[in-house]
Amino acid sequence: MKRFALLLLALAAPVRAQDVGDALRAGDLICEFRDGFRASLLAELDHRPPPADLMLMYDSVSADSAHVVSTARPGRRPVLVRTVADAVHLIEPEGPSVRVTTLTACRDWKWKNGVETCVRFAARHAWHFDDAAYLGPDIVRARVPSGAAVGACEPWDSN
């Protein structure tokens, strides 16, 4: 009974900050997102996830900056990185607005070189028509629209 209680406590524990912090050590991230509003009836009937609507490649990810290449727009653009509480925010300025990718939790773990490492992060991507993300990324996270694109990001290892 005591073990069962400990297991429940572990499952109910909030996401650890180091879970998403692994993304900063990855160097590069590949992200895929599906439109939050669109759902494919055929995909649901076939029990396959719908195809990705947006792919993002974040390279040179550090504690404060990165670069992004998107399937939606040509070119490589600078990104600000902000880590707060249990999330990592990748903020791409676009005129008076921002596009924000937020990594919120680790979905999958693998052992690499004797260390358990996150290999897939839950993520959301939204376009915000203001620049409040510069004031506080958690403000933006709280305001993420229900129709935000949902997906995942994975560390990219070129080895």
Q: What is the pLDDT of residues 73-120, one digit of tens each?
A: 899 999 999 888 788 899 999 888 889 999 988 999 888 888 888 889
In a domain, 1, yes or no: no
In a domain, 6, yes or no: no
Task: Give mean pLDDT, residues 31-54.
Answer: 70
Contacts of 47 (CB under 8 A, 6+ apart): none
Least confident of 40-49, 124-133, 150-159: 40-49
Q: Which of the four pLDDT bands, split at 50, 70 and 90, describes residue 69?
A: very high
In a domain, 2, yes or no: no
In a domain, 36, yes or no: yes
Tokens of 126: 């939204």
Q: Quote the CA–CA distance of 39 and 44 in Å, as a whole number.
A: 8
In a domain, 50, yes or no: yes
Measured between alpha carbons, how far is residue 25 from residues 12, 40, 83, 101 in Å?
26, 35, 13, 17
Q: Which domain holds residue 71?
A: 15-155
In a domain, 10, yes or no: no
Q: Write down the pLDDT at residue 36.
A: 56
Task: Give mean pLDDT, residues 129-146.
Answer: 73
Q: Write down the pLDDT at residue 18.
A: 52
CATH number for the domain including 145? Answer: 2.40.128
Q: Write down the pLDDT at residue 49.
A: 63
Least confident of 59-63, 73-77, 126-130: 126-130
> What contacts 24+ positions apart, CB below 8 Å, involve 59-66?
59/27, 59/28, 60/27, 60/28, 61/23, 61/24, 61/26, 61/27, 61/28, 61/29, 61/90, 62/24, 63/24, 66/90
Q: Which of the four pLDDT bands, split at 50, 70 and 90, describes residue 31?
A: very high
Q: With 50 as the cut, is the pLDDT of residue 9 above it?
A: no
The one-character DSSP state at 52 is P
Q: What is the percentage of the chain residues whose pLDDT exceeds 90?
A: 31
Contacts of 136 (CB under 8 A, 6+ apart): 84
In a domain, 56, yes or no: yes
In a domain, 77, yes or no: yes
Count of domains in the chain? Answer: 1
Predicted TM-score of the model (pTM) = 0.76
